[in-house]
Amino acid sequence: MDHKTNTTLLFSLLFFITYLITIATSKDLCNQNDKNTLLKIKKSLNNPYHLASWHPETDCCSWYCLECGDATVNHRVISLTIFAGQISGQLPPEVGDLPYLQSLMFHRITNITGQIPSTITKLKYLRSLRLSWLNLSGPVPEFLSQLMNLEYLSLSFNQLSGSIPSSLALLPKLSYVDLSRNKLTGTIPESFGSFPAELAYLILSHNQLSGSIPKSLGNLDFNRIDFSRNKFTGDASMLFGANKTTFSIDLSRNIFQFDLSRVVLHESLGVLDLNHNGITGSIPVQWTEYSLQILNVSYNRLCGPIPTGGSLQRFDSYTYFHNKCLCGAPLDSSCK
Ligand SMILES: *[C@@H]1O[C@H](CO)[C@@H](O)[C@H](O)[C@H]1NC(C)=O
Ligand SMILES: *[C@@H]1O[C@H](CO)[C@@H](O)[C@H](O)[C@H]1NC(C)=O
Ligand SMILES: *[C@@H]1O[C@H](CO)[C@@H](O)[C@H](O)[C@H]1NC(C)=O
Ligand SMILES: *[C@@H]1O[C@H](CO)[C@@H](O)[C@H](O)[C@H]1NC(C)=O
């Protein structure tokens, strides 16, 4: 052996010893209870390839689809995000045994069926719950109102049925609610007019909700409202007002019936879609002062001239067509 080979061997040996020492002294950050729970979750989901990194011999804080907190929470698992995997099964009830979870998300997994497990009420620190684009059935559970730290709730794109629990309005921090694209029936609970925090997003589109909107919703200042494609009736004018800061209001494809003539818009409104309802009256002249990005009042029972001298002629006839007797540009029918 020449000198060079000897040196290489020596360095390799040193490197190997350092490596062994590193392995022996490195301590898993992962909490053992969390690790056991995660392995149960993996098993309950039939050991999907998506969770191949969840290997019992490695530190669970290094696994994909989750996040451990810092030393202040002893590196407990604070977030679990299972997204777009080839996974079949039900939501594992064991998720309730990750007591430090702040965020729980299962999203875009076609074959997740069954109901939302009540064990999630054990998650006292949960701030964000997103169970969307799954195939969950059963109700929007009443027990969600036990999640006192919840700020964000999305259960959209499932097969959930039954009515919306009024107790959701008990949640002191809830500001985002998306229950769209389910099979929900019944009305919007009266209690929704009195959320303790500012309810900024209320997205209920593509359900079979009915009845009139509680008057009390007029007390709220939303960022975005989407009630489209339901069976809501009656008045929705309380959602508007000079003092609001709502950016987007979509009430399209319902059976709303109110007089548009006295509906006052506000500066920050960017999107207003009222198509396919039974809305009467005329378009207020005041509306010329606002610079909406999207406007659709088609398929209603509006009458009278489309006010000129502002921004309302920027839209094409598809914004206004199929009304009772709207007239003037951009429609072809001129006003007599
Ligand atoms: C979903 O389940 C069905 C029937 O159990 C199966 O045929 C299909 O491959 C599954 N799809 C996915 C994406 O796992
Ligand atoms: C729910 O399952 C059906 C088939 O049973 C499938 O066609 C549909 O895409 C699934 N929904 C979602 C949101 O993945
Ligand atoms: C709008 O706010 C002003 C002052 O904040 C108040 O005086 C007025 O009554 C409010 N108008 C409406 C319609 O609520
Ligand atoms: C308004 O809604 C109607 C009905 O859905 C649609 O046909 C039309 O294209 C929409 N108008 C615009 C400007 O998008």
| CATH number, residue 302 | 3.80.10.10
Q: How far is the CA of 135 from the centre of ligand 2 (A)?
A: 6
Per-residue tokens: 63: 């696994």
Q: How confident is the model at residue 25 (pLDDT cuts 50, 70, 90)?
A: very low
In a domain, 271, yes or no: yes
Q: Is 73 exposed, middle or buried (0-12, 13-18, 19+ CB in 10 A)?
A: middle
Q: Which amino acid is at 180?
A: S
In a domain, 23, yes or no: no
CB-ligand 3 contact for 1 (6 Å cutoff): no
C-alpha to C-alpha distance for 290 and 279, rounded to whole angstroms: 20
Question: Which ligand is nearest the CA of 87, by number?
Answer: 1
**DSSP letter for each residue of 238-268:** GG--TT----EEE--SSEE--BGGG----TT
Q: How confident is the model at residue 84 (pLDDT cuts 50, 70, 90)?
A: confident
CB-ligand 1 contact for 7 (6 Å cutoff): no
Q: How far is the CA of 108 from the centre of ligand 1 (A)?
A: 13
In a domain, 8, yes or no: no
Q: How far is the CA of 183 from the centre of ligand 4 (A)?
A: 25
Query: What is the pLDDT at residue 286?
Result: 94
Write the residue with the smallest CA distance to atom 10 of ligand 1. Answer: 111
In a domain, 287, yes or no: yes
% of the chain exceeding 90 in pLDDT: 86
| Residue 120 host element (H or E) | none
Query: What is the pLDDT at residue 24?
Result: 44
For the CA of 135, the nearest atom of ligand 2: 1
- Rounded to the nearest 5°, which phi and psi values hold at 182? -130, -160
Query: What is the pLDDT at residue 14?
Result: 62
Q: How many residues does the structure list for the chain?
A: 336
pLDDT at 321 over 90: yes
In a domain, 221, yes or no: no
Question: 86, 88, 110: which to mutate for ligand 2, most atoms within 8 A of CB?
Answer: 110
In a domain, 253, yes or no: yes
Question: 221, 238, 243: which to mutate for ligand 3, most atoms within 8 A of CB?
Answer: 243
Whether residue 330 is preceded by a cis peptide bond, meaning omega within 30 degrees of 0, is yes
CB-ligand 1 contact for 135 (6 Å cutoff): no
Q: Which residues pair with 226 in a beta bridge?
A: 203, 250
Number of domains present in the structure of the chain: 1
Query: What is the pLDDT at residue 202?
Result: 97
Range(s) of the domain holding residue 267 = 235-336
Q: How far is the CA of 260 from the centre of ligand 2 (A)?
A: 39
Whole-model pTM? 0.89
pLDDT at 6 over 80: no
| Residues near 47 by beta carbon (within 8 Å), at least 6 away in sequence | none
- Mean of the pLDDT values across residues 215-232? 96
8 A C-beta contact, residue 136 and residue 157: no
In a domain, 147, yes or no: no
